[in-house]
Structure 1
Amino acid sequence: MASENKLSFRFATISAELDKRVVEVALKEARISSCAGSPKLTKRDVKQSEHIVAQLGIEPIVRALKHDSNVVLAGRAYHPSVFAAFPVMHGFDLGLSLHLGKILECAAIACTPGSASDCMLGTLRRDSFELEPLNPLRKCTIASVAAHSLYEKSDPYQLAGPGGILDLTDTRFEQLDERRVRVSGSKHIETPYAVKLEGARRAGHRYVSIAGVRDPVFIAQEAVRDRIADNFVQISPEDYTLIFRVYGRDGVLGPVEPIRDATPHEVGIVVEAVADTAKLPKSICGFARSTMLHLGYPGKISTAGNLAFPYSPSDFDAGEVFEFNIYHLMQVDDPPIFFPMIIENIGHPKEQQSERQPRRHRKRREKQKLPPL
């Protein structure tokens, strides 16, 4: 694209993926803790992960900007840091910058009526910031902006991120006019620096079948899982996973659905089978679908099949499936060394360089026995 449009700029790429040896060293040194109730991390979890990324904060982005980068492409990042890095580099308050970034990442969702497809203008000042939607059909109100503090948060007042907590306890919202709101009082509370690790392991291969049913008597049945266990007696239930997602009844909240005594007359059913190889989930999914289709049950009136299939063939190979097995915090004493950066001069004679780490970074890396960047 740069070549076609005759563009010239400095392009920085920041990697967020970690070598497993880095995580293993941190685990051995007891620098990794659980996050949001995740189970204790084990060396086996690290080895089973296909990839492990760390959520970068503002520091790696600031470093790229200080190297005169015009475009920065980063890996997994704490969303507000993408917006906060530039103003913080120029001396603006970290708490206000992060709070503004938290809102700008969702843009007009913080408006009334909310929208995920419109832009928001944020104007950051030394003691506050102002918000204004760019679509004249939308408005920022105290209620809409304050309510956004609940978005993706378990605590409306505090949001933990790399190196600290965004504290909204003393935040104030002021209506400037019909469409603009001013926000002030947001603070950043520094904590021991930690980055969130995210890793996923292969759970197996998945097959899926989708069907609809319109019979409240059939919907109340629970006989299919037992039939499958009887048919695959040579296979341990631990070797596969079979899930029935019933949309129209517990399809969204599942076992925590508070309305338990209502049986709908019509539902959509998603059958999901997962096992280590592709052959086994294909067989289990097909058998489950066939069993439901021809299931006989007390009170049955029809002699035809029980299910209506929107697609043919009815079963889909969904490929490999992965699941989170690392969702933890790793303490670091120098964040930039975990996020290597490459700078390219686009539109100039081909030149690519890996940033040389300051000597103090190299020494610290040797001390922690980490692999070279």
Structure 2
Amino acid sequence: MGTRILIPSGALGLGYDKAALNRAVEAKPDLIAIDGGSTDSGPSYLGRGVSKYATESTKIEWQGLIEARAAAGCPLVIGTAGTCGTDSTVDWLYNITLEILSDLGQSAKIARLYSEQDPAKIAQTPLSPLSAAPHVDAGTIQNCTHIVALAGAEQIQTALNTGADIIIAGRTTDTAIIAALPLQNGNHAGAAWHGAKIGECGALCATNPQSGVILVDFDDTGFTVTPMADGAKATPHTLSAHMLYENSDPFILFEPGGHLDVTRATYTAIDDTSVRVTGSQWEPSDTYTVKLEGARIAGFQTILMVLLRDAHYVSNAQIWCDDIIAKHATKVADRLGLDPATWHAELQIIGRNANLGTLEQRTLDASELGVLAILTAPDQATANTLGKMMNPYLLHHPLTQEEEQPTFAFPFSPAEIDRGAAYKFVLHHVMALVDPMDAFRLVVTDV
């Protein structure tokens, strides 16, 4: 039997084309699948266990999908709920779901798949580092505020087998929520994983990436991708290019339980809109492993922003910044006596090299630059003190002693803005499981 998956968007929170969604629902999908997040926005969301998206906006989009699920008569699955997939964000979206069902007067069976791990237990668990993984010890792991394991297709299948109408999953791989049902239905395994990879970001694999909605049809030999928005088209190029998205190898994709190999995949346009793909292969592994993501507090930060417009300072901005960093460090040592290893200050030149730093190769003329100061310390009070000691330099520091004292522009008052805790990722490791559900919990509720 074939399997039709409706993917409304690359993530809940990005929006979707309502007309295209209605068109896709009329095509009678077997499942609606949408991603809820990723690590794209940095470690803070995992570290704090919160979503990057506003509750009010999320509720509107999620209600549209719950209504679509009811109209289609099929399950609705979201993976990595609430950006980071912690237990707290699963519960956050579950509570939103309860409000929506109450507003609509609907009933539903809801399955919640929890992915969060106990840091103390993980500290005692054998882990295997992935490429470029940081060194970790038991203390580092125990200091993580949140650790999640990335669920694969097997955990989603367990949730589907409960007969749930709505599945709210914690951290999952982006592909798992799409591949699970085709695999369960006995469709081609290579096609299931490859189609899931191509479809994970909705219409990003099409010529109108902002439209969101696509259908992916899986069968015994391959899969077909069809964008649903007016004017959106899939082409062999747009589909094959997506294998490079968030993936260092354009032919190999690792997942729990094996890897996808698309070396021999063939992409064929079957009409002006749809593309058919065959030849993908799934290679099972001997050991079932899941990736772990963990975040811990790296310090507390205070930031300041100053604007440079004088041409003399714009052209010598890096020299100006380097001199301020040196003089600020001397003042901190003299007046606070802080161990240099316990705090950090940096000045990023916004508009010149703030993104790539010393790797920047472009030389562009600018009429105005922003300089962002970032002070990091073990506690917020010290970070704020460091920021206040940086303040006078950013306001008046001259390039030379011979020139008149300059004045630069602070866009905010007070100039010092306390950011609070700053987090960093500390895990890029996998752990082996005997049973795929060993690291996960499933709770099913009739609402």
Same fold by TM-score greater than 0.5: yes
Which runs of structure 2 are paired with 1:218-237 in the superposition (5 Å)?
Answer: 218-221=316-319, 222-233=322-333, 234-237=337-340
1:20 aligns with 2:119: yes
1:227-272 alpha-carbon deviations (Å, 9 max, x no partner): 111111111111112122222222112233244x667553222211
Which amino acid in structure 2 is aligned with residue 94 of structure 1? A
1:288 aligns with 2:397: no
Q: Partner residue of 1:355?
A: none
Residue in structure 1 matching 2:259, options 152, 165, 168 = 165
1:206 aligns with 2:301: yes
Which amino acid in structure 2 is aligned with residue 50 of structure 1? T
Q: Which has the larger radius of gyration?
A: 1
1:5 aligns with 2:110: no
Change (3 A) 1:299 1:275: closer
Does the Cα contact within 8 Å between 1:220 and 1:263 map onto a contact in 2?
Answer: no
Which runs of structure 2 are paired with 1:303-314 in the superposition (5 Å)?
Answer: 303-305=405-407, 307-314=408-415
Residue 294 of structure 1 and its aligned partner are, at CA, apart by 0.8
1:96-119 alpha-carbon deviations (Å, 9 max, x no partner): 11221222221111112x424421
Identity of aligned residues (%): 28
Q: Is there any run of 5+ residues in structure 2 with no aligned partner, and where?
A: 1-99
1:251 aligns with 2:378: no
SS of residue paired to 1:3: helix
Change (3 A) 1:22 1:217: same
Residue 172 of structure 1 and its aligned partner are, at CA, apart by 0.8
Task: Provide the aligned length of Structure 1 versus Structure 2.
Answer: 339
TM-score, length-scaled by structure 1: 0.85
Q: Partner residue of 2:198?
A: 103
Change (3 A) 1:122 1:337: same
Change (3 A) 1:165 1:217: same
d(CA) in 2 for partners of 1:40, 1:237:
22
1:38 aligns with 2:158: no
1:176 aligns with 2:270: yes
Moved over 4 A (4+): 261-265, 299-303
d(CA) in 1 for partners of 2:289, 2:423:
25
Change (3 A) 1:33 1:263: farther
Change (3 A) 1:12 1:165: same
Does the Cα contact within 8 Å between 1:50 and 1:200 map onto a contact in 2?
Answer: yes
Residue 5 of structure 1 and its aligned partner are, at CA, apart by 2.1
Residue 328 of structure 1 and its aligned partner are, at CA, apart by 0.7
Residue in structure 2 matching 1:336, options 437, 440, 447 = 437
Residue 79 of structure 1 and its aligned partner are, at CA, apart by 0.7
1:156-205 alpha-carbon deviations (Å, 9 max, x no partner): 11011111111111111001122211111111111221111111111121
TM-score, length-scaled by structure 2: 0.72
1:262-311 alpha-carbon deviations (Å, 9 max, x no partner): 67553222211111111111121232232122111139866441x32333
Change (3 A) 1:143 1:98: same
Which range moves more in the overlay, 168-177 or 103-112? 103-112
Change (3 A) 1:300 1:76: farther
Q: Partner residue of 1:127?
A: 221
1:70 aligns with 2:173: no
Residue in structure 1 matching 2:420, options 306, 313, 319 = 319
SS of residue paired to 2:104: coil
1:54 aligns with 2:149: yes
More helix by share: 2
SS of residue paired to 1:232: helix
Residue 20 of structure 1 and its aligned partner are, at CA, apart by 2.6
Change (3 A) 1:281 1:21: closer
Does the Cα contact within 8 Å between 1:20 and 1:52 map onto a contact in 2?
Answer: yes
